[in-house]
Amino acid sequence: MRVQVAIIGGGPSGLLLGQLLHKAGINAVVLERKTREYVLTRIRAGVLERGLVDLLDQAGVATRLKKESLTHEGVMISSNDDYLELDFNKHIQQHVTVYGQTELTRDLYDAREAAHAKTLFNVENVTLNDITTDSPSIDCTVDGHTVHIDCDYIAGCDGYHGVSRQHIPQDKRNEFIKEYPFGWLGVMSETTPVHSELIYSMSDRGFALCSMRNPKLTRYYIQCDSKDSVDNWSDDSFWNELRGRIPEEYAAKLETGPSIEMSIAPLRSFVCEPMQWGNLYLCGDAAHIVPPTGAKGLNTAASDVHYLFTALKHRYQENESTLLERYSQTALKRVWKVQRFSWWMTSMLHRFPEQSLFERKLQQAEFDFLKQNDAAQAALATNYVGLPY
Protein backbone atom coordinates (compact mmCIF):
# COMPACT_ATOMS: atom_id res chain seq x y z
CA MET A 1 0.00 0.00 0.00
CA ARG A 2 1.19 3.52 -0.82
CA VAL A 3 -0.18 6.64 0.90
CA GLN A 4 1.09 10.13 1.57
CA VAL A 5 0.46 10.02 5.34
CA ALA A 6 0.14 6.97 7.59
CA ILE A 7 -1.67 7.68 10.87
CA ILE A 8 -1.12 5.25 13.75
CA GLY A 9 -4.09 5.37 16.11
CA GLY A 10 -7.82 5.49 15.42
CA GLY A 11 -8.85 7.62 18.38
CA PRO A 12 -10.21 11.15 18.00
CA SER A 13 -6.87 12.82 17.23
CA GLY A 14 -5.91 10.33 14.52
CA LEU A 15 -9.40 10.41 13.01
CA LEU A 16 -9.55 14.22 13.06
CA LEU A 17 -6.16 14.49 11.36
CA GLY A 18 -7.26 11.94 8.78
CA GLN A 19 -10.50 13.77 8.05
CA LEU A 20 -8.77 17.14 7.69
CA LEU A 21 -6.20 15.61 5.33
CA HIS A 22 -8.98 14.00 3.29
CA LYS A 23 -10.76 17.35 2.92
CA ALA A 24 -7.46 18.84 1.69
CA GLY A 25 -7.01 16.07 -0.90
CA ILE A 26 -4.12 14.40 0.95
CA ASN A 27 -4.22 10.58 0.94
CA ALA A 28 -3.95 9.00 4.39
CA VAL A 29 -4.59 5.66 6.04
CA VAL A 30 -5.54 5.22 9.71
CA LEU A 31 -4.25 2.18 11.63
CA GLU A 32 -6.19 1.16 14.77
CA ARG A 33 -5.11 -1.61 17.17
CA LYS A 34 -8.68 -2.42 18.25
CA THR A 35 -12.07 -2.49 16.51
CA ARG A 36 -14.30 0.53 15.91
CA GLU A 37 -16.77 -0.88 18.45
CA TYR A 38 -14.07 -1.13 21.10
CA VAL A 39 -12.88 2.44 20.53
CA LEU A 40 -16.44 3.69 20.94
CA THR A 41 -16.73 2.09 24.39
CA ARG A 42 -14.05 4.40 25.81
CA ILE A 43 -15.59 7.03 28.08
CA ARG A 44 -13.66 10.29 28.17
CA ALA A 45 -14.19 13.95 28.95
CA GLY A 46 -16.55 16.02 26.86
CA VAL A 47 -15.54 19.67 27.40
CA LEU A 48 -14.40 21.03 24.03
CA GLU A 49 -12.43 24.23 23.53
CA ARG A 50 -13.43 26.67 20.82
CA GLY A 51 -10.37 25.66 18.75
CA LEU A 52 -11.41 22.00 18.65
CA VAL A 53 -14.97 22.88 17.67
CA ASP A 54 -13.61 25.04 14.83
CA LEU A 55 -11.43 22.14 13.64
CA LEU A 56 -14.41 19.77 13.64
CA ASP A 57 -16.35 22.31 11.61
CA GLN A 58 -13.43 22.64 9.19
CA ALA A 59 -13.34 18.85 8.88
CA GLY A 60 -17.07 18.79 8.05
CA VAL A 61 -18.09 16.72 11.10
CA ALA A 62 -19.78 19.27 13.35
CA THR A 63 -23.41 18.89 12.20
CA ARG A 64 -24.62 16.64 15.03
CA LEU A 65 -22.44 18.46 17.55
CA LYS A 66 -24.16 21.75 16.74
CA LYS A 67 -27.57 20.15 17.25
CA GLU A 68 -26.93 18.15 20.41
CA SER A 69 -24.10 19.84 22.31
CA LEU A 70 -24.43 22.11 25.32
CA THR A 71 -22.94 25.61 25.40
CA HIS A 72 -21.30 26.48 28.70
CA GLU A 73 -20.66 30.14 29.40
CA GLY A 74 -19.03 29.74 32.79
CA VAL A 75 -17.82 27.44 35.50
CA MET A 76 -18.17 27.28 39.28
CA ILE A 77 -15.14 27.04 41.58
CA SER A 78 -15.95 26.30 45.22
CA SER A 79 -14.17 26.01 48.54
CA ASN A 80 -16.38 24.13 51.00
CA ASP A 81 -19.59 26.22 51.04
CA ASP A 82 -18.05 29.34 49.47
CA TYR A 83 -18.04 29.58 45.68
CA LEU A 84 -17.28 31.71 42.66
CA GLU A 85 -19.48 31.58 39.56
CA LEU A 86 -17.04 32.52 36.82
CA ASP A 87 -18.72 34.17 33.82
CA PHE A 88 -16.74 33.62 30.60
CA ASN A 89 -18.75 36.22 28.70
CA LYS A 90 -17.92 38.89 31.25
CA HIS A 91 -14.20 38.34 30.92
CA ILE A 92 -13.44 37.03 27.41
CA GLN A 93 -16.71 36.78 25.43
CA GLN A 94 -16.12 33.10 24.67
CA HIS A 95 -17.56 29.75 25.76
CA VAL A 96 -16.85 26.02 25.82
CA THR A 97 -18.92 23.22 24.35
CA VAL A 98 -19.97 20.03 26.13
CA TYR A 99 -20.24 17.04 23.79
CA GLY A 100 -19.18 13.50 24.70
CA GLN A 101 -15.87 12.34 23.29
CA THR A 102 -17.50 9.03 22.36
CA GLU A 103 -20.02 10.87 20.19
CA LEU A 104 -17.30 13.02 18.64
CA THR A 105 -15.35 9.85 17.75
CA ARG A 106 -18.49 8.27 16.31
CA ASP A 107 -19.03 11.31 14.09
CA LEU A 108 -15.45 11.09 12.81
CA TYR A 109 -15.76 7.37 12.04
CA ASP A 110 -19.05 7.95 10.23
CA ALA A 111 -17.48 10.72 8.13
CA ARG A 112 -14.48 8.55 7.31
CA GLU A 113 -16.71 5.69 6.18
CA ALA A 114 -18.88 8.04 4.11
CA ALA A 115 -15.74 9.31 2.37
CA HIS A 116 -14.55 5.72 1.73
CA ALA A 117 -11.28 6.66 3.40
CA LYS A 118 -9.03 3.74 4.31
CA THR A 119 -9.05 2.57 7.94
CA LEU A 120 -7.42 -0.66 9.10
CA PHE A 121 -8.59 -2.29 12.35
CA ASN A 122 -7.07 -5.07 14.46
CA VAL A 123 -3.60 -3.81 13.57
CA GLU A 124 -0.75 -5.45 15.51
CA ASN A 125 3.04 -5.82 15.43
CA VAL A 126 3.57 -2.30 14.12
CA THR A 127 7.13 -1.44 13.12
CA LEU A 128 8.25 1.90 11.72
CA ASN A 129 11.05 1.75 9.17
CA ASP A 130 13.51 4.34 7.81
CA ILE A 131 11.81 7.28 9.54
CA THR A 132 14.90 9.47 9.20
CA THR A 133 14.97 8.97 5.40
CA ASP A 134 12.74 10.25 2.61
CA SER A 135 11.16 6.79 2.28
CA PRO A 136 9.61 5.82 5.63
CA SER A 137 7.35 2.79 5.81
CA ILE A 138 5.33 0.69 8.22
CA ASP A 139 5.14 -3.08 8.58
CA CYS A 140 2.26 -4.55 10.54
CA THR A 141 -0.25 -7.37 10.67
CA VAL A 142 -3.98 -6.87 10.08
CA ASP A 143 -6.20 -9.74 11.17
CA GLY A 144 -3.08 -11.88 11.09
CA HIS A 145 -2.06 -10.89 7.55
CA THR A 146 1.19 -9.02 6.85
CA VAL A 147 0.77 -5.50 5.47
CA HIS A 148 3.49 -3.12 4.23
CA ILE A 149 2.73 0.60 3.88
CA ASP A 150 4.99 3.06 2.06
CA CYS A 151 4.42 6.72 2.90
CA ASP A 152 5.95 10.18 3.03
CA TYR A 153 5.14 10.93 6.67
CA ILE A 154 3.96 9.05 9.77
CA ALA A 155 1.70 10.58 12.43
CA GLY A 156 1.91 8.85 15.82
CA CYS A 157 -1.53 9.33 17.39
CA ASP A 158 -1.41 6.04 19.31
CA GLY A 159 -1.41 7.23 22.90
CA TYR A 160 0.93 6.99 25.85
CA HIS A 161 1.41 3.21 25.52
CA GLY A 162 1.70 3.23 21.72
CA VAL A 163 4.69 2.22 19.61
CA SER A 164 5.36 5.54 17.87
CA ARG A 165 7.21 7.38 20.63
CA GLN A 166 9.47 4.37 21.22
CA HIS A 167 10.92 4.81 17.72
CA ILE A 168 12.56 8.07 18.81
CA PRO A 169 16.01 6.99 20.08
CA GLN A 170 16.08 6.90 23.86
CA ASP A 171 19.22 9.04 24.05
CA LYS A 172 17.50 11.70 21.92
CA ARG A 173 14.20 11.62 23.82
CA ASN A 174 13.56 13.66 26.97
CA GLU A 175 10.53 12.64 29.01
CA PHE A 176 9.22 14.86 31.80
CA ILE A 177 6.88 13.10 34.24
CA LYS A 178 4.98 14.07 37.37
CA GLU A 179 2.85 11.42 39.11
CA TYR A 180 0.14 12.72 41.43
CA PRO A 181 -0.53 10.75 44.64
CA PHE A 182 -4.27 10.46 43.96
CA GLY A 183 -6.77 9.53 41.28
CA TRP A 184 -10.32 10.38 40.30
CA LEU A 185 -13.15 7.98 41.04
CA GLY A 186 -15.73 8.69 38.35
CA VAL A 187 -19.39 7.72 38.12
CA MET A 188 -21.77 8.16 35.19
CA SER A 189 -25.50 8.10 35.88
CA GLU A 190 -28.76 8.87 34.14
CA THR A 191 -29.61 11.77 36.41
CA THR A 192 -30.22 15.49 36.03
CA PRO A 193 -27.10 17.66 36.52
CA VAL A 194 -26.93 19.38 39.89
CA HIS A 195 -25.96 22.67 38.20
CA SER A 196 -26.15 24.07 34.69
CA GLU A 197 -22.37 24.60 34.71
CA LEU A 198 -19.50 22.42 35.91
CA ILE A 199 -18.58 22.64 39.60
CA TYR A 200 -14.90 22.26 40.56
CA SER A 201 -14.94 21.84 44.31
CA MET A 202 -12.12 21.94 46.86
CA SER A 203 -13.12 20.81 50.33
CA ASP A 204 -11.68 19.56 53.59
CA ARG A 205 -12.59 16.03 52.44
CA GLY A 206 -10.89 16.37 49.06
CA PHE A 207 -11.66 17.42 45.50
CA ALA A 208 -14.90 16.79 43.59
CA LEU A 209 -16.16 17.63 40.10
CA CYS A 210 -19.77 17.82 38.95
CA SER A 211 -20.05 17.50 35.18
CA MET A 212 -22.50 16.24 32.57
CA ARG A 213 -22.82 14.84 29.06
CA ASN A 214 -26.36 16.04 28.38
CA PRO A 215 -29.40 17.22 30.41
CA LYS A 216 -30.13 13.65 31.52
CA LEU A 217 -26.66 12.14 31.76
CA THR A 218 -24.21 13.21 34.46
CA ARG A 219 -20.54 12.53 35.15
CA TYR A 220 -19.28 13.04 38.70
CA TYR A 221 -15.79 12.59 40.15
CA ILE A 222 -14.24 12.54 43.59
CA GLN A 223 -10.55 12.50 44.50
CA CYS A 224 -9.44 9.12 45.84
CA ASP A 225 -6.22 7.39 46.82
CA SER A 226 -4.10 6.36 43.83
CA LYS A 227 -4.24 2.73 45.02
CA ASP A 228 -8.00 2.69 45.60
CA SER A 229 -10.32 0.28 43.76
CA VAL A 230 -13.90 0.59 42.54
CA ASP A 231 -14.56 -2.60 44.52
CA ASN A 232 -14.32 -0.45 47.65
CA TRP A 233 -17.20 1.76 46.57
CA SER A 234 -20.94 1.28 46.29
CA ASP A 235 -23.25 3.77 44.59
CA ASP A 236 -24.52 4.94 48.00
CA SER A 237 -21.03 5.48 49.40
CA PHE A 238 -20.05 7.47 46.32
CA TRP A 239 -23.10 9.76 46.49
CA ASN A 240 -22.65 10.32 50.23
CA GLU A 241 -19.01 11.28 49.73
CA LEU A 242 -19.85 13.58 46.83
CA ARG A 243 -22.45 15.39 48.96
CA GLY A 244 -19.80 16.04 51.58
CA ARG A 245 -17.46 17.70 49.08
CA ILE A 246 -19.70 20.18 47.24
CA PRO A 247 -21.42 23.29 48.62
CA GLU A 248 -24.31 22.39 50.90
CA GLU A 249 -26.72 24.35 48.69
CA TYR A 250 -26.06 21.96 45.80
CA ALA A 251 -25.63 18.84 47.90
CA ALA A 252 -29.25 19.28 48.94
CA LYS A 253 -30.32 19.33 45.27
CA LEU A 254 -28.20 16.37 44.13
CA GLU A 255 -30.22 13.77 42.23
CA THR A 256 -28.79 10.28 42.69
CA GLY A 257 -29.34 7.00 40.89
CA PRO A 258 -27.68 3.76 39.84
CA SER A 259 -24.27 4.16 38.23
CA ILE A 260 -23.97 2.99 34.65
CA GLU A 261 -20.19 3.24 34.76
CA MET A 262 -17.65 3.54 37.56
CA SER A 263 -13.89 3.77 37.11
CA ILE A 264 -10.72 5.26 38.60
CA ALA A 265 -8.37 7.40 36.52
CA PRO A 266 -4.81 8.08 37.69
CA LEU A 267 -3.47 11.63 37.49
CA ARG A 268 -0.14 12.35 35.84
CA SER A 269 1.64 15.00 33.83
CA PHE A 270 3.91 13.90 30.99
CA VAL A 271 5.71 15.59 28.10
CA CYS A 272 8.02 14.09 25.50
CA GLU A 273 10.57 16.26 23.74
CA PRO A 274 10.97 16.35 20.80
CA MET A 275 7.57 15.58 19.28
CA GLN A 276 9.11 14.66 15.93
CA TRP A 277 11.97 12.53 14.69
CA GLY A 278 12.76 12.42 11.02
CA ASN A 279 9.44 11.98 9.27
CA LEU A 280 7.63 10.79 12.41
CA TYR A 281 5.36 13.31 14.17
CA LEU A 282 3.70 12.67 17.53
CA CYS A 283 0.21 13.93 18.40
CA GLY A 284 -1.81 13.87 21.60
CA ASP A 285 -1.18 11.35 24.39
CA ALA A 286 1.73 9.85 22.48
CA ALA A 287 3.59 13.07 23.29
CA HIS A 288 1.92 14.49 26.40
CA ILE A 289 -0.62 13.86 29.15
CA VAL A 290 -2.24 16.29 31.58
CA PRO A 291 -4.35 15.71 34.68
CA PRO A 292 -8.07 15.83 33.81
CA THR A 293 -8.47 19.01 35.90
CA GLY A 294 -9.57 21.57 33.33
CA ALA A 295 -10.28 19.00 30.57
CA LYS A 296 -7.20 19.67 28.46
CA GLY A 297 -6.22 16.20 27.21
CA LEU A 298 -8.29 15.95 24.03
CA ASN A 299 -8.13 19.68 23.49
CA THR A 300 -4.33 19.72 23.54
CA ALA A 301 -4.28 16.79 21.11
CA ALA A 302 -6.46 18.92 18.85
CA SER A 303 -3.92 21.73 18.87
CA ASP A 304 -1.25 19.22 17.78
CA VAL A 305 -3.54 18.12 14.97
CA HIS A 306 -3.98 21.73 13.91
CA TYR A 307 -0.23 22.37 13.75
CA LEU A 308 0.54 19.10 11.96
CA PHE A 309 -2.33 19.37 9.47
CA THR A 310 -1.39 22.96 8.65
CA ALA A 311 2.23 21.93 8.13
CA LEU A 312 1.32 18.97 5.90
CA LYS A 313 -1.05 21.10 3.85
CA HIS A 314 1.73 23.66 3.28
CA ARG A 315 4.06 20.83 2.28
CA TYR A 316 1.71 19.32 -0.31
CA GLN A 317 -0.08 22.39 -1.60
CA GLU A 318 2.79 24.89 -1.55
CA ASN A 319 5.85 22.59 -1.50
CA GLU A 320 6.93 24.38 1.69
CA SER A 321 8.37 22.29 4.55
CA THR A 322 9.32 24.99 7.08
CA LEU A 323 6.23 24.39 9.24
CA LEU A 324 6.93 20.64 9.33
CA GLU A 325 10.50 21.30 10.43
CA ARG A 326 9.21 23.53 13.25
CA TYR A 327 6.28 21.31 14.28
CA SER A 328 7.73 20.09 17.57
CA GLN A 329 8.96 23.51 18.63
CA THR A 330 5.61 25.13 17.78
CA ALA A 331 3.43 22.49 19.41
CA LEU A 332 5.50 22.27 22.60
CA LYS A 333 5.14 25.99 23.33
CA ARG A 334 1.39 25.52 23.71
CA VAL A 335 1.75 22.11 25.39
CA TRP A 336 3.79 23.56 28.26
CA LYS A 337 1.36 26.43 28.78
CA VAL A 338 -1.45 23.90 29.09
CA GLN A 339 0.68 21.81 31.46
CA ARG A 340 1.13 24.87 33.66
CA PHE A 341 -2.60 25.54 33.78
CA SER A 342 -3.53 21.92 34.54
CA TRP A 343 -0.86 21.73 37.24
CA TRP A 344 -2.13 24.99 38.77
CA MET A 345 -5.76 23.85 38.81
CA THR A 346 -4.81 20.48 40.25
CA SER A 347 -2.56 21.97 42.92
CA MET A 348 -5.14 24.51 44.05
CA LEU A 349 -8.12 22.15 44.26
CA HIS A 350 -6.81 18.85 45.65
CA ARG A 351 -5.80 17.67 49.08
CA PHE A 352 -2.30 16.18 49.05
CA PRO A 353 -1.08 13.45 51.44
CA GLU A 354 0.79 14.86 54.44
CA GLN A 355 -0.20 18.37 53.38
CA SER A 356 0.70 20.93 56.03
CA LEU A 357 -1.72 23.48 57.45
CA PHE A 358 0.46 26.17 55.87
CA GLU A 359 -0.08 24.63 52.41
CA ARG A 360 -3.83 24.41 52.99
CA LYS A 361 -3.89 28.07 53.96
CA LEU A 362 -2.10 28.91 50.71
CA GLN A 363 -4.73 27.00 48.72
CA GLN A 364 -7.48 28.94 50.46
CA ALA A 365 -5.64 32.22 49.80
CA GLU A 366 -5.39 31.25 46.12
CA PHE A 367 -9.15 30.71 46.00
CA ASP A 368 -9.87 33.97 47.85
CA PHE A 369 -7.63 35.92 45.48
CA LEU A 370 -9.32 34.34 42.48
CA LYS A 371 -12.77 35.20 43.82
CA GLN A 372 -11.88 38.85 44.43
CA ASN A 373 -9.70 39.62 41.41
CA ASP A 374 -11.08 40.18 37.92
CA ALA A 375 -7.66 39.80 36.28
CA ALA A 376 -7.18 36.38 37.88
CA GLN A 377 -10.66 35.33 36.74
CA ALA A 378 -9.92 36.52 33.20
CA ALA A 379 -6.69 34.50 33.18
CA LEU A 380 -8.52 31.36 34.30
CA ALA A 381 -11.27 31.91 31.73
CA THR A 382 -8.72 32.44 28.94
CA ASN A 383 -6.96 29.19 29.73
CA TYR A 384 -10.14 27.19 30.34
CA VAL A 385 -11.85 28.23 27.10
CA GLY A 386 -8.61 27.53 25.25
CA LEU A 387 -5.44 29.33 24.29
CA PRO A 388 -5.24 30.35 20.62
CA TYR A 389 -3.34 28.13 18.21
Q: Catalytic: which of 83, 99, 200, 327?
A: 200
Task: For residue 66, indicate whether it is catalytic.
Answer: no
CA torsion through residues 231, 236, 238, 244, sign: negative
Clarify whether 72 is annotated catalytic: yes
Residue 12, C-beta contacts closer than 8 angstroms, at least 6 positions apart: 101, 104, 105, 108, 298, 301
To the query of whether residue 288 is one of the catalytic residues in this protein, the response is: no
Beta-sheet strand order (sheet of 137-142): 123-129, 137-142, 145-150
Catalytic pick from 22, 195, 288, 296?
A: 296
Which one from 288, 291, 292, 307 is the annotated catalytic residue? 292
148 is catalytic: no
Preceding amide of 266 cis, omega within 30: no
Query: Is there a catalytic annotation at residue 169?
Result: no
Q: Which one of the listed residues 72, 91, 167, 313 is annotated catalytic?
A: 72
3-state secondary structure of 167: helix
Contact between 297 and 338 (Cβ < 8 Å): no
Distance in angstroms (rounded) separating the CA atoms of residues 126 and 221: 36
Instruction: List, as one string, the DSSP characters of 68-131.
Output: H-EEE-EEEEEETTEEEEEEHHHHTS--EEE--HHHHHHHHHHHHHHTT--EE-SEEEEEEE-T
Q: Which residues are catalytic?
A: 72, 200, 292, 296, 384
